[in-house]
Structure 1
Amino acid sequence: MNFAQVMNELESLGTERTKKLYLGNGAREPLFGVATGAMKPMKKLIKRNQPLAEELYATGNYDAMYFAGVIADPDAMTAEDFDRWMETAYFYMLSDYVVAVTLSEASIAQEVADTWIESGEELKRSAGWSTYCCLLGNRKDEEFDVEKISRLLDVVKMTIHSAPPRAQSSMNNFVYTVAISFVPLHEKALEVSREIGQIELERPGKKPAVLDATATIEKWMTRGKLGFKRRYVRC
């Protein structure tokens, strides 16, 4: 499939209901409102195609940008490429669900995520923490430096309450991901979650959401999910 065929197919798959949902979460025109599951047949047909992914991402159309992440070749992208994608990721569903998820399959994932976490920019920070969530929830524990992940837990403990909302959400996710998916630091992550306590997340135009990493950890533990790893990161 070429660029025009993909765009036509995405347009045909869009629904007003899904479009309204995305707009309510911060998306903006142009977009078609395509459910992620509806993209799977095209993904199977195209597989990985970085040039096509770049064309789609450059449109500014949310659905095209999302699908770009689905068919991108992460190891064909440089740190500069991921930074360029981040520059046009204007809300969290792009920064965290497209750019961070794509980055998590690249060999440079931790290197780039570290720079984003330290950037001071809300969506970059959010994407950096989300990248680590994807990594820890998918890769073997032996692939990580325990001391480094421990230091990141300390960073969360010291800064989460002063962080901007989207970063708070991803940092909270990081804590419970470590507790569930990274067994060497399960106890420390659980302790950090208790020290952090509940966080009231401000959301424009909506009621605040309450984040509770401890409750999430306990819920997963009762299901016997300690050590859980996802088979796939991208849809």
Structure 2
Amino acid sequence: MDLETVMQELEALGKERTKKIYISNGAQEPLFGVATGAMKPMAKQIKKNQPLAEQLYATGNYDAMYFAGVIADPRAMTEADFDRWIDAAYFYMLSDYVVAVTLAETEIAQGVADKWIASGEELRMSAGWSCYCWLLGSRPDREFDESKMAHMLKRVEAEIQDSPERTKYAMNNFIYTVATSYSPFHDLAVQTAQAVGPVEVGQDKGKSKYLNATDNIQKAIARGHLGFKRKYVRC
């Protein structure tokens, strides 16, 4: 399939209701409103195609950018490629669920994520922390340095309350993911969650809500989800 054919297929799969949901979460025109599940038949047909993924991502169309992540060949991407992708990721559904997910399938993932976390930029930081969540939830515990993980938990405890909004979400999810997917530090992550307490995040209409890693960890324990690892990062 070429770019024009894929764009026509995506447009045909678009639903107005889905489009409204994406826009309410921060997506901007152009977009068609394609449910992720509806992309699977086309993804199976194309498989991995990095040149086509690059063309799709460059359109600026949200659905095309998401689909680019589905068919990308992460191991063919360089650090510069990921920097270019994160530059164009204008809201969290791209930064955390396209760029971070794709990065998590590479050998350079931790190095790039570390750089983004240190950037001070909301969506780069969010993508960096989210990448670690995808990594911890899919790779063996032995791939992670314990002293580094301990330092990251301390950093979250010290910085989360004053971090940008989307970064708060990703940091909160990091605590939860360490507790549920990184067995050596379950207890330390539980202690971190308790020390952090509820994290206030602002809402568009002036209301606030609170993230609470402790509650989510307890729910995961009740479901028997400790030690959870995904077989695949991407769908």
TM-score category (smaller protein): over 0.9
Deviates more, 1:195-204 or 1:20-29: 195-204
Give the aligned partner of residue 51 of structure 1: 51
State the alpha-carbon separation in 2 of the partners of residues 97 and 80 from structure 1: 19
State the alpha-carbon separation in 1 of the partners of residues 161 and 112 from structure 2: 24
Alignment-mate amino acid for residue 131 of structure 2: T
Residue aligned with 2:33, SS:
coil
CA displacement at 1:50 relative to structure 2: 0.3
CA displacement at 1:209 relative to structure 2: 2.5
State the alpha-carbon separation in 2 of the partners of residues 203 and 131 from structure 1: 24
State the alpha-carbon separation in 1 of the partners of residues 76 and 203 from structure 2: 35
The one-character-per-residue Cα deviations of 1:167-188 (angstroms, maximum 9, x if unpaired) are: 0000000000000000000000
Identity percentage of aligned residues: 63
Give the aligned partner of residue 233 of structure 2: 233
Alignment-mate amino acid for residue 227 of structure 1: G
Give the aligned partner of residue 124 of structure 1: 124
State the alpha-carbon separation in 1 of the partners of residues 3 and 195 from structure 2: 50
CA displacement at 1:203 relative to structure 2: 2.4
Alignment-mate amino acid for residue 188 of structure 2: K
State the alpha-carbon separation in 1 of the partners of residues 149 and 230 from structure 2: 19
Unpaired runs of at least 5, structure 2: none
Give the aligned partner of residue 64 of structure 1: 64
The one-character-per-residue Cα deviations of 1:64-87 (angstroms, maximum 9, x if unpaired) are: 000000000111111110000011
State the alpha-carbon separation in 2 of the partners of residues 82 and 102 from structure 1: 9
After TM superposition, the score normalised by the length of structure 2 is 0.98
Alignment-mate amino acid for residue 160 of structure 1: I
Q: Which runs of 4+ in 1 moved over 4 A?
A: none
The one-character-per-residue Cα deviations of 1:3-61 (angstroms, maximum 9, x if unpaired) are: 11110000000000000000000000000000000000011111100000000000000
Residue aligned with 1:174, SS:
helix
Unpaired runs of at least 5, structure 1: none
Residue aligned with 1:210, SS:
strand
* Residue pair 2:161, 2:200 contacting (<8 A) in 1 also: no
Give the aligned partner of residue 3 of structure 1: 3
Give the aligned partner of residue 181 of structure 2: 181
Number of paired residues? Answer: 235
Residue aligned with 2:138, SS:
coil
Alignment-mate amino acid for residue 123 of structure 1: L
Alignment-mate amino acid for residue 221 of structure 2: M
Mapping of residues 46-125 of structure 1, within 5 Å: 46-125=46-125
Correspondence 1:23 to 2:16:
no
CA displacement at 1:208 relative to structure 2: 2.2
Residue aligned with 1:30, SS:
coil
Residue aligned with 1:218, SS:
helix
CA displacement at 1:200 relative to structure 2: 1.3
After TM superposition, the score normalised by the length of structure 1 is 0.98
Mapping of residues 132-147 of structure 1, within 5 Å: 132-147=132-147
- Superposed CA RMSD in Å reads 0.8
The one-character-per-residue Cα deviations of 1:151-203 (angstroms, maximum 9, x if unpaired) are: 10011001001101100000000000000000000000000000000011112
Residue aligned with 1:201, SS:
strand
Residue aligned with 2:227, SS:
coil
Alignment-mate amino acid for residue 50 of structure 2: Q
CA displacement at 1:230 relative to structure 2: 1.2
